[in-house]
Amino acid sequence: MPATTELLFAIGAGPRVVGRTPWDLWSDSARRVADVGVGLRPNIEAVLARRPDLVLLYATGENRAAAQALRAAGVAVIALRIDRVEDFRRAARLIGMATGDSARAAAVVDSVDRTLARVRSRTAGLPRPTVFWHVWDAPIITIARGSFLDELLTIAGGRNIYEDLSQPSPQVSLEDIVRRDPDVILAGPDGAARIRASATWRSVRAVREGHVLVVDTSLIGHPSVRMGEAATVLAHLLHPAVVQ
């Protein structure tokens, strides 16, 4: 998954990466690595053709058979799921141990944590606009307390209107969004364009008032080494006069 590929390159193990998914596009060096197909139910033959010693898999039931097949072929497998900031810290340390780069992995974690702490200090005491985070249209999917994005939003000085839901990305209704009445909507470029053009979405006050803000999903969508930068960008979106 992109988060673990980014970690490998950040800790200096990039030259040893021999395969990636189509979505692993950062850093630029990752793009030069062979694409072996998707990360859910991967093509085992394509992966084994790269002769890896270690495969990092997304931890999901859909990948259980792949993990068993790879281990049966004598390849070590680490399955990771990074939903929260603490999951990122744990994954970084584990990958650092597995690749022999523990010190650099710790340095990456420390760097991200310092940036997050700096953003948190800049937004402390500021008014906290309520935010609806748009992920998908039909059905409407948002970000809730189970996601690292909810953590970044809090650090950036916002308050998620779905912070009471424990899932990472629950399905919600437009009627409930109207009832919760967010001050701001965050969305990717395509989603923001659709919301602004939709007569239905105008039932939400934030849309009528022009408070639909565009987030860079390529930066903010991965729970990895650029989370500090992502929090900085979010803070500037929500508090442009204060956070530069």
43, 106: one domain: yes
pLDDT of residue 244: 60
3-state secondary structure of 224: coil
94, 23: one domain: yes
Question: Residue 135 gets which letter from DSSP?
Answer: E
Dist CA 48 CA 197 (whole Å): 47
pLDDT of residue 146: 94
Q: How many CB atoms within 10 Å of residue 204?
A: 21
Comparing CA positions, the residue from 114, 117, 204, 126 lying closest to residue 158 is: 126
Question: How much is the average pLDDT of 227-239?
Answer: 95
Residue 83 belongs to a domain with what CATH number? 3.40.50.1980
Judge whether residue 145 has pLDDT over 80: yes
Domain extent at residue 18: 2-120
In a domain, 91, yes or no: yes
In a domain, 182, yes or no: yes
Domain edge (last residue) among 120, 144, 162: 120
In a domain, 161, yes or no: yes
Domain edge (last residue) among 68, 103, 120: 120
Looking at per-residue pLDDT, the higher value among 45 and 218 belongs to 45
200, 138: one domain: yes
Given a contact cutoff of 8 angstroms between Cβ atoms, the answer to whether 64 and 84 are in contact is no
111, 6: one domain: yes
Comparing CA positions, the residue from 163, 148, 159, 129 lying closest to residue 226 is: 148
Rounded to 5, what percent of the chain is helix, strand, coil? 50, 15, 40
* Position 126 confidence tier, pLDDT thresholds 50, 70, 90: very high
Question: How much is the average pLDDT of 159-185?
Answer: 97
Residue 41, by phi and psi: left (phi above 0), alpha (psi -120 to 50) or beta? left
| Side chain identity at residue 113, one-letter code | D
Per-residue buried b or exposed e for 100-109, using 16+ beta carbons within 10 Å of the residue's own CB: ebbebbeebb
> pLDDT tens-digit profile of 148-163?
999 999 999 999 999 9
131, 229: one domain: yes
- How many domains, the chain? 2
In a domain, 244, yes or no: no
104, 29: one domain: yes
231, 175: one domain: yes
Residue 206, by phi and psi: left (phi above 0), alpha (psi -120 to 50) or beta? alpha
**Model confidence, pTM:** 0.92
Judge whether residue 28 has pLDDT over 90: no
In a domain, 243, yes or no: no
Dist CA 175 CA 157 (whole Å): 25
Dist CA 129 CA 139 (whole Å): 25
